[in-house]
Amino acid sequence: MDLLENATTNPFHTFDPIDGKMAESLIQALDSSVDGDDEQLLKMFEDDKRLQERLARESVETLTQRSDIPWDDATVLWMIARQTEADGTPAWLDKGMARDKLGRFPWADGSPLTYLLEFMINDEDADIKDLLLKLNLGLCESSIGHDRYENGFGGLSLMGWLNEEEVESIGRMFMHTSWGVSSVEPYDGGVREIVKHLTVLLKSARAKGTGIMLRRHS
């Protein structure tokens, strides 16, 4: 029995390629807009013709204030920062085994990263767990004090993310640091299975030069 497939009730999770630098700037700009200052957000779109074109495709022709974009913050972040194919459809880091295997984990909240953070042992480099935590929950209320990104329109739920440099860093950490498995791991081989498939996705993101975002699908 494959434990990574043995789940029917937990939410499905996907790891999506994003423009990490764009995501970072957008998050800062959207937070400023919530505080009443739209200047940073407006300047982002004013300075980048690609962003103007992307809004225009969604019938947003004029942008003078945050409210001109008729989307919540989660939708703005997803629509603008996600990587797309030439035809405009969302790009994937992996269309095969890794995506399917990591999609739904039969433990806790269904995120394989939650399991990994609990049962992977790494005493040499604490940074690896910091980056895993950011990817798992970096956009959640527990990390940033609000739920605007994890409770978007239509069930859009953005959980966490890493920029391009962080993807490069965590990829090197998995390859070059020693890690172990807790003796109380409930699923034999679970940590190693997750690391194996996560490494595939990280390699794909590094090859594409993208950041990575964790999305939850209820």
Residue 8: pLDDT band with limits 50, 70, 90:
low
Residue 89: pLDDT band with limits 50, 70, 90:
confident
**In the sheet that 157-162 helps form, which strands lie side by side, from edge to edge?**
12-18, 211-217, 157-162
Dmax (CA) for the chain in angstroms is 58
Q: In the predicted model, what is the mean pLDDT of residues 190-216?
A: 95
Whole-number pLDDT of residue 7 = 47
Residue 139 has pLDDT above 90, yes or no: yes
Residue 11: pLDDT band with limits 50, 70, 90:
confident
> At 134, phi and psi to the nearest 5?
-65, -40
Residue 147: pLDDT band with limits 50, 70, 90:
very high
How do residues 164-184 score in pLDDT, each as one tens digit? Answer: 999 999 999 988 888 899 999
104 or 214, higher pLDDT: 214
Q: Is 110 left (phi over 0), alpha (psi -120 to 50) or beta?
A: left
Structure tokens that stand for 193 in this block: 């299975």
pTM of the model: 0.90
How do residues 33-56 score in pLDDT, each as one tens digit? Answer: 999 999 999 999 999 988 888 888
Instruction: Report the Cα–Cα distance between both ends of the chain, in Å, rounded.
Output: 24
